[in-house]
Chain A
Amino acid sequence: MQAFLDSLIRGWGHDPQTWVWTQLIYVAFMGLFSFAVINFAAVTAGIFSWAERRVAGRMQSRVGPNRAGPGGFYQWIADAVKLLTKEDLVPTEADQFLFRIAPYFMMVGFACVFVALPFSHRLVIAEMNVGVFYIIAVTALIVVGIIMSGWSSNSKWSLFGAIRSAAQIISYEIPAGMALMIPVLLSGTLSTQGIIRAQGPWPWEWYIFHDPASFAAFFIYFISALAEGNRTPFDLPEAESELVSGYNTEYSGMRFSYFFLVEWGNMWVMSALATTMFLGGWQVPFLPVTDAADKIAMLSGGWTVLAELASIAIFTFKTLFFVFIVMWLRWTLPRIRVDQMMNMCWKYLVPVSFAAVLFVAGWMLVIHAVPALDWIMRIVLTAGGAITLVMFWLRTLQNIKDTGDKFDFTSNW
């Protein structure tokens, strides 16, 4: 970002090193970018809230919100307005100060992640050399916010929800962190853009199909991210049937909506991170961008803009695909028990993730000695993945044909 601003200042005919207003321009643009990012987060979270309810309706053979606007699309705006105008209640027995600031802790922890998330080849707010660690670190604020909201509400349900959530997030941070270390090992950098540059546009160049351990690591990361985002089947902290609504039971109005904004916005964060680390990010086919050669930057004029747009489209498509899978899982799997949740993490995911890191380290030595094995392994795994997808597709088509299910776009959609 600094390079971009420096070039901007140079364009105005000043030297960024000596010009007096340089620092002020930096601060102003930081504010502008933060504003843009937080709005992006809020709008995607809102749209996801509508999409999730429509998907849920479809999967449970009901309709879902379909009144406001085409297909009920404006429902999320209506909900936001309703929440904004609702009374902001604070229970008398609650700890006033902590109760009020807890949602902001969550919002800050969530919004800070977007600073390091890439959106396209050039569109990233800060290309940090510790990007992946930064993302893991700032999400810690969300846990602090959850604990504070649960404790300060002075309610049994909230406290239980917060304790469950803290235990869950702390536990699942370990396999998630270890799984994210595998792309870091393979690419040799912690920068999110650097990891994407180390991968290629084609599936066999992605880290998910690099070797069996990184294939497993992708799923370990995805499961752990579901748990960290309190998504079903790991939504124990806000289990409606046991805890009313968990740590946010006592909240209302705008503060309540922050919790849900974070939950839905987190779906973008976890999917974008999975795309970045394992699925080649924004790489455009035929225009690979590596540390050595940047094919997109070499294009001229309108083609650069087109390639840039293509990279945004590719990244968004991959991310939204995983957002859909997260929704799909929510309406498919039942909630698991607390002991099952803990067993799953400590008995299965943690040992497997440690083994995967060791395997990848060993595999890197092997392919360093025999480079041909690298390509054989990648092609075998990619072919396996492609065959699985095709079989899944055929099976689903068969099921749809057998049940005679059809999606009616015309009446009352």
Chain B
Amino acid sequence: MEAVLFYIFAIGVVVAGAQVVLRRNPIYGAVSLVACFFFLAGIYVLLSAHLIAILQVMVYAGAVMVLFVFVIMLLNLKEEELGEMHVTTMKGIGLAAVLVLVGFIAWKALTPVQFARDMAVNEQIHGFGGVKAVGNVLYRSSVLPFEVTSLLLLVAVVSAVVIAKGKI
């Protein structure tokens, strides 16, 4: 059953991800991205990383994507404003880069690596991705990067206020 669910979610991620890039209308792209995040959360659940799955949905699908959609909706592009489809050199380079990347990942994934598998099993045993495991990693072993990130967010908030206000 896990395998069946995995294939459902994996196909969903790939199809929705492709939709994000291929759709002309930005709203469709954004909605596909939300769907992609949900399928990805399903894969996290299969990996028994419940907290990561929930955070994926809550932060990305819930907050970040709603803001994206919000902005796209405010712009409200019409079909005529999007312009016509062109085949450009940049798109060709992009396609080539995607093919190289996919090929590389496929080659890596098909080569058995003992070390990586052991690590995965280890983390499975210690409840990787659960509330306790994530908390331990965040507040024990990597507390400094965590706090520095919060400082970064504070800087972003202050600068957003400065830009929006103009005169303080």
Q: Which residues of A contact B76 (CB under 8 A)?
A: 151, 159
> Contact at A144–B67, with CB atoms within 8 Å?
no
The answer to the question of B47 belonging to the interface, with a C-beta cut-off of 8 Å to chain A, is no
The answer to the question of B34 belonging to the interface, with a C-beta cut-off of 8 Å to chain A, is yes
The answer to the question of A133 belonging to the interface, with a C-beta cut-off of 8 Å to chain B, is yes
The answer to the question of B164 belonging to the interface, with a C-beta cut-off of 8 Å to chain A, is no
> Contact at A166–B50, with CB atoms within 8 Å?
no
Whether A140 touches B58, Cβ cut-off 8 Å, given contacts A98-B27, A151-B73, is yes
A345 → B minimal CB distance (Å): 14
The answer to the question of A178 belonging to the interface, with a C-beta cut-off of 8 Å to chain B, is no
Q: Contact check: which of B34, B51, B58 meets A144 at CB < 8 Å?
A: B34
A98-144 contacts to B (CB < 8 Å): 98, 128-130, 133-134, 136-141, 143-144
Q: How large is the interface on B (under 10, 10 to 19, 20 to 34, 35 or more residues)?
A: 20 to 34
Closest to A174 in B: B63
Interface 0/1 of B54-89, CB less than 8 Å to A:
110110011101110110011010000000000000
Interface 0/1 of B14-50, CB less than 8 Å to A:
0000000000000110010010000000000000001
For the complex, what is the distance from the CA of A143 to the CA of B74, rounded to whole Å?
16
Q: Contact check: which of B62, B73, B130 meets A159 at CB < 8 Å?
A: B73
The answer to the question of B11 belonging to the interface, with a C-beta cut-off of 8 Å to chain A, is no
Interface 0/1 of A141-177, CB less than 8 Å to B:
1011001101100000001001100110110010000
> Contact at B51–A137, with CB atoms within 8 Å?
no
Q: Which of A130, A140, A163, A173 has its CB near the most chain B CB atoms (within 10 A)?
A: A140
Q: Which residues of B contact A141 (CB under 8 A)?
A: 61
Q: How large is the interface on A (under 10, 10 to 19, 20 to 34, 35 or more residues)?
A: 20 to 34
The answer to the question of A348 belonging to the interface, with a C-beta cut-off of 8 Å to chain B, is no
For the complex, what is the distance from the CA of A23 to the CA of B4, rounded to whole Å?
11
Closest to B37 in A: A140
Whether A138 touches B57, Cβ cut-off 8 Å, given contacts A133-B51, A151-B73, is yes
Q: Which residues of A contact B62 (CB under 8 A)?
A: 136-137, 139-140, 143, 173
B46 → A minimal CB distance (Å): 14
> Contact at A129–B31, with CB atoms within 8 Å?
no
> Contact at A129–B131, with CB atoms within 8 Å?
yes
Q: Which of B50, B55, B66, B76 has its CB near the most chain A CB atoms (within 10 A)?
A: B66
The answer to the question of A303 belonging to the interface, with a C-beta cut-off of 8 Å to chain B, is no
> Contact at B63–A170, with CB atoms within 8 Å?
yes
Whether A143 touches B66, Cβ cut-off 8 Å, given contacts A159-B73, A163-B73, is yes
The answer to the question of A190 belonging to the interface, with a C-beta cut-off of 8 Å to chain B, is yes
> Contact at A190–B70, with CB atoms within 8 Å?
no
Q: Contact check: which of A133, A143, A151 meets B55 at CB < 8 Å?
A: A133
Q: Which residues of B contact A137 (CB under 8 A)?
A: 54-55, 57-58, 61-62
For the complex, what is the distance from the CA of A141 to the CA of B58, rounded to whole Å?
10
Q: Which residues of A contact B65 (CB under 8 A)?
A: 144
Q: Which residues of B contact A133 (CB under 8 A)?
A: 51, 54-55, 58
Q: Which residues of B contact A95 (CB under 8 A)?
A: 27
> Contact at B61–A144, with CB atoms within 8 Å?
yes
> Contact at B31–A173, with CB atoms within 8 Å?
no
For the complex, what is the distance from the CA of A23 to the CA of B5, rounded to whole Å?
12
The answer to the question of A26 belonging to the interface, with a C-beta cut-off of 8 Å to chain B, is yes
For the complex, what is the distance from the CA of A129 to the CA of B65, rounded to whole Å?
26
Interface 0/1 of A234-245, CB less than 8 Å to B:
000000000000
B53 → A minimal CB distance (Å): 8
> Contact at A147–B73, with CB atoms within 8 Å?
yes
Whether A148 touches B31, Cβ cut-off 8 Å, given contacts A129-B130, A143-B66, A159-B73, is yes
Closest to A133 in B: B54
B125 → A minimal CB distance (Å): 17
Closest to B2 in A: A23
14 A–B contacts from the bound complex (CB under 8 Å): A98-B28, A98-B31, A130-B131, A139-B62, A144-B31, A144-B69, A148-B31, A159-B73, A163-B74, A166-B66, A166-B69, A173-B62, A173-B63, A190-B131
| Chain B interface (Cβ < 8 Å from any Cβ of A) | 1, 27-28, 31, 34, 50-51, 54-55, 57-58, 61-63, 65-67, 69-70, 73-74, 76, 130-131
